[in-house]
Amino acid sequence: MPDSIDTKRAALIAYDVCRRALTPDDPARRAAMRPVLDAWVRLIGAARAAGIPVIYTTPVSRADGADVVLLPTDLSAETGVPSLTNGIEGTPGAGFPDEIAPQPEDYVFLKRRPSAFYGTGVGELLRMLRRDVAIIGGGATNRGVETSVREAFNMDLNIVVVRECCWGGDAAAHAYSLDKAMKMYARVRHLDQVISMLAG
């Protein structure tokens, strides 16, 4: 089977590419994330050039916390912080960096749980558009991206994960997710490979 992408059946999911993640206030963190933002600029540009839909998700919770569920998990017990932390709906951090801001033809979904599909409408949109190939990247790699990839596999979606467009705070978990876990459910490719596949 050739390593290709049928652009007539494909869509790009820009998973949680919000300002809070890609252009944080901390200068050191912002500099560290700059290569990821640059990779997203290239990928979104290639997707638009290929005429495939671009779908954004942004992780949000209400300012009053009414939609935050504090489940007892080992990680929350170890760290003392909730296992799921979102941006606040309507704040600048929940928006998108200017370099990759959604265009009128794009789709934007608010997301309150780790999966790009759970409770968002993204899966329904893909079916409506007759797209069964999804290109995805985002962060954290081993949390939300992997959760989305596993769910997409259950939905019989053909998934391509873009390495340079993924990030995570835990380097070992990020690498394991890309090199081991997601290979069971998706094709994991470098940005240049994906751009070449989109160009045909």
pLDDT digits (tens, 9 = 90+) for 67-78: 887 788 888 888
pLDDT digits (tens, 9 = 90+) for 5-53: 999 999 999 999 999 999 999 999 999 999 999 999 999 999 999 999 9
pLDDT digits (tens, 9 = 90+) for 98-155: 999 999 999 999 999 999 999 999 999 999 999 999 999 999 999 999 999 999 999 9
| pTM for the full predicted model | 0.94
Q: What are the b/e assignments for 53-64, b being 16+ CB within 10 Å?
A: bbbbbbbbbeee
Q: State both tokens at 8.
A: 């007539």
pLDDT band for position 2 (50/70/90)? low
More confident site: 91 or 2: 91
Residues found in the chain: 200
pLDDT band for position 65 (50/70/90)? confident
pLDDT digits (tens, 9 = 90+) for 158-195: 999 999 999 999 999 999 999 999 999 999 999 999 99
Domains and CATH numbers, the chain: 11-61+95-199 (3.40.50.850)
Backbone angles phi, psi at 197, to 5 degrees: -65, -40
For residue 14, the surrounding DSSP H or E stretch is: strand 10-15
Report d(CA 163, CA 66) in Å as an integer.
34
